[in-house]
Amino acid sequence: MPARGFYVTTPIYYISGTPHIGHAYSSVAVDIIARTARAHGPARSLTGTDEHGQKVAQAAEAAGATPQAYVDALAPRWRELQIAYDTRFDDFIRTTEPRHARASLALFERMRANGDVYESVYEGWYCTNDETFWPESKLIDGRCPNPECRRPVEWLSERNWFFRLSAYRDRLLELFRTDPDFLRPQSRYNEMMAVLEGGLDDLSISRSSFDWGIPLPGGGVLYVWFDALINYISALGWPDDPDGRFATFWPGVHVIGKEIARFHTLIWPAMLWSAGLEPPARVFAHGWILAEGEKMSKSLGNVIEPFALAERFGADAVRYFLFREAPFGTDFSISREKLRQRLNSDLGNDLGNLLRRSLAMLDRYRDGLVPEPTAGSIAEGVSDLPARVRDHVLAMRLREGLDEIWNLVTTLNRSIDERKPWELAKAGRGDELDAVLYDLCEGLRWLSILLFPYMPSKATEMWRQLGLSGTPEVRWPDELTWGRLAAGTQTDPGLPLFPRLEPEPDETEA
């Protein structure tokens, strides 16, 4: 861990519409990373909603509401998403908050004072749905080139403020070449390098044809993407920083969807440099969740509703599935049947039965009391496991972190099968029996700590059944030492951790 605090953010979610499983995916990823970081030192996480722009203004008008009333009504649903998936954030920022407006205007003024902002007339094709200007060469049959949109664009002519983004091309190229980990995974890095090598145009950073946004002195409002990106530092108290949060936690790590990599890795670093600030430490642009092999979209009618999914399978099972099914960063498919299979096999058979069998044998042979600590082969094999898991997670290799943890699940299950505690008990080999039982209980304690970032509720239930107080949210360097489970601890077996789930009559692959 770096000496300074660790800071990780979700994308700022555009409030128009309702949350889908892709939003939950980003939020859970950041939650896993932040919980792991907190186990080693100061860490902070952020999520929030992007509430300005023409699309919001038009949606509010269609709903017969003011834009502020419209976003005020939608914001609670995005907080509910965090509750539904047990994601714990240190801050939830809304771009309509005064603290954000102050920071956005301060950044704008710094950039203007540095000569990087100038006035000019903008004429070009604009997609209201994406809040994006597109050069004519990028249009597809006169429509927005974003495959998620493909809506007609409109020709706009406005007198706006512009950012000299083109002046930062060489510095961006240097950043990408000297720090190849700045943008991961490699496929996203390659895409943005190709954009840079093709050159950058200056960017219009204000709008004058509508007024739903952060107002600028002299008229107009900030372009929605310009003000949205600033949330990552306005939430840290920049520029005033009265609590020292910005000094402690910036630069941070951004977890985003791959479709918005250009904004976060080309425009955002240049904005920060222009204001005399450091760029983000890293950007990780993950892939899309597919339904039956296709990107989810409302027009296709294949959007997976995240609240119903959590209700059906449990938030922890969905969290596990999202990061065990595929390497973080790639596209992958999700279905209810795949989820049910993972729940019944990995979680029910492998992990849940391990806990149930271990505590049942402890109850049968030792009245549920943990025997004296031992330091055998299992202890030797896991000595560097916490460091491996930490390194994977903080490098955004979330499936690899789970794979490391599951090796311990496999080792403990194999220990039961090979050492056969029931035969040791029958033969009166008490010391060997105690050694097996202790290994199982201590291994389960380790699992509850290591799994807490991935499955906080179920890991806490494991912790409770082991007879431990508090929660497994502990400092790993202090607690992940073999033998810390005290002899004589009274375990308390409860209900199955993951009861077997049968398919519902109308459950389909989608």
Shared domain for 15 and 157, answered yes or no, is: yes
Shared domain for 55 and 179, answered yes or no, is: yes
Residue 326: inside a domain: no
Shared domain for 268 and 151, answered yes or no, is: yes
Judged on CB neighbours under 10 Å (0-12, 13-18, 19+), 313 is buried
| 286 and 26 Cβ atoms separated by less than 8 Å | yes
Assign 502 to helix, strand or coil: coil
Residues 397 and 415: their CA atoms lie apart, in Å, by 28
Confidence of residue 456 (pLDDT cuts 50, 70, 90): very high
Pairing between β-strand 294-295 and β-strand 289-291 as defined by DSSP bridges: antiparallel
Shared domain for 281 and 166, answered yes or no, is: yes
Confidence at residue 2, expressed as pLDDT on a 0 to 100 scale: 40
CA dihedral 410, 451, 332, 304 (to 10 degrees): 130
Domain of residue 421 covers 335-479
CATH number of the domain at 471, please.
1.10.730.10
Residues 59 and 72: their CA atoms lie apart, in Å, by 13
- Decide if pLDDT at 253 tops 90: yes
* 285: CB partners within 8 A, 6+ apart: 183, 184, 185, 188, 256, 257, 258, 260, 261, 264, 265, 329
Residue 343: inside a domain: yes
- Decide if pLDDT at 83 tops 50: yes
Shared domain for 365 and 278, answered yes or no, is: no
Mean pLDDT, to the nearest integer, of 437-465?
98
Confidence at residue 135, expressed as pLDDT on a 0 to 100 scale: 76
Confidence of residue 510 (pLDDT cuts 50, 70, 90): very low
Residues 385 and 408: their CA atoms lie apart, in Å, by 9
Average pLDDT along the chain: 93
Confidence of residue 357 (pLDDT cuts 50, 70, 90): very high
Tens digits of residue pLDDT in 363-418: 999 999 999 998 777 998 999 999 999 999 999 999 999 999 999 999 999 999 99
Alpha helix positions (H), 63-197: 67-84, 98-113, 169-178, 186-197
Residue 499: inside a domain: no
Assign 47 to helix, strand or coil: strand
- Decide if pLDDT at 158 tops 90: no
Shared domain for 255 and 365, answered yes or no, is: no
Shared domain for 244 and 128, answered yes or no, is: yes
Residue 328: inside a domain: no
Q: Where a domain ends, among 265, 286, 307?
A: 286
On the question of a cis peptide bond just before residue 239, with omega within 30 degrees of 0, the verdict is yes
- Decide if pLDDT at 230 tops 90: yes
Higher pLDDT, 204 or 293: 204
Residues 433 and 423: their CA atoms lie apart, in Å, by 9
DSSP 216-272: PTTS-EE-HHHHHHTHHHHTTTTTT-TTSHHHHH-S-EEEEEGGGHHIIIIIHHHHH
- Decide if pLDDT at 486 tops 80: yes
Residues 123 and 160: their CA atoms lie apart, in Å, by 10
Q: How many CB atoms lie within 10 A of CB 495?
A: 8
Shared domain for 364 and 235, answered yes or no, is: no
Assign 119 to helix, strand or coil: strand
pTM of the predicted structure, to 2 decimals: 0.93
Residues 72 and 66: their CA atoms lie apart, in Å, by 10
Residue 300: inside a domain: no
- Decide if pLDDT at 118 tops 70: yes
Shared domain for 147 and 18, answered yes or no, is: yes
**Over pLDDT 70: what percentage of the chain?**
96
Residue 486: inside a domain: no
Token pair for residue 487? Answer: 């002899």
CATH number of the domain at 229, please.
3.40.50.620
Residues 124 and 126: their CA atoms lie apart, in Å, by 6
Give CA 76 to chain center in angstroms: 19
Nearest CA to 285 out of 388, 152, 351, 188 is that of 188
> In the β-sheet with 117-127, what is the strand arrangement from edge to edge?
132-134, 117-127, 154-163, 203-204
Residue 316: inside a domain: no
Shared domain for 48 and 184, answered yes or no, is: yes
- Decide if pLDDT at 355 tops 60: yes
Shared domain for 384 and 246, answered yes or no, is: no
Confidence at residue 507, expressed as pLDDT on a 0 to 100 scale: 63
Shared domain for 445 and 340, answered yes or no, is: yes
Domain count, the chain: 2
Tens digits of residue pLDDT in 262-312: 999 999 999 999 999 999 999 999 999 987 667 766 656 677 889 999 999
Q: How many CB atoms lie within 10 A of CB 174?
A: 10
Tens digits of residue pLDDT in 37-52: 999 999 999 999 999 9
Tens digits of residue pLDDT in 55-69: 999 999 999 999 999
Confidence at residue 508, expressed as pLDDT on a 0 to 100 scale: 52
Q: How many CB atoms lie within 10 A of CB 304?
A: 18
Residue 178: inside a domain: yes
Confidence at residue 298, expressed as pLDDT on a 0 to 100 scale: 60
Calculate Rg over the CA atoms of the chain.
26
| Ranges 121-130, 387-396, 414-423: which has the least confidence | 121-130
- Decide if pLDDT at 1 tops 70: no
